[in-house]
Amino acid sequence: MSRSYKKTPVTGNTSADSDKIGKKIWHKQFRHKTKQILKSTHNDVDLLEDMTIPNEKEIGYGPWHWPKDGKRYLGEWIKNNIERIRQVMGK
């Protein structure tokens, strides 16, 4: 696909390539916290029913700490700056 191009102009807010590292850290911490909760019940069904799964804020490392920091749509920006883009790309 040598002539393919990105059809939807969406990009990350920073220069990071992906959120893979952040997701890996978050899921590791989530699993650890969940295991701690399960071990603290000592297989007591009554205690287990009262427990809740930890949320993002309880983990402390959520999507706002990940490298890419979200995405944004560049459609309007491209429309407004198409001439400048063509000059830079030499078309």
pLDDT in tens, 14-32: 778 888 888 898 889 999 9
Tell me the pTM.
0.58
Please tell me what DSSP assigns to residue 11.
E
Residue of 59, 69, 3 lying closest to 36 (CA atoms): 59
Tokens coding 56: 């993002």
Mean pLDDT of 43-70: 78
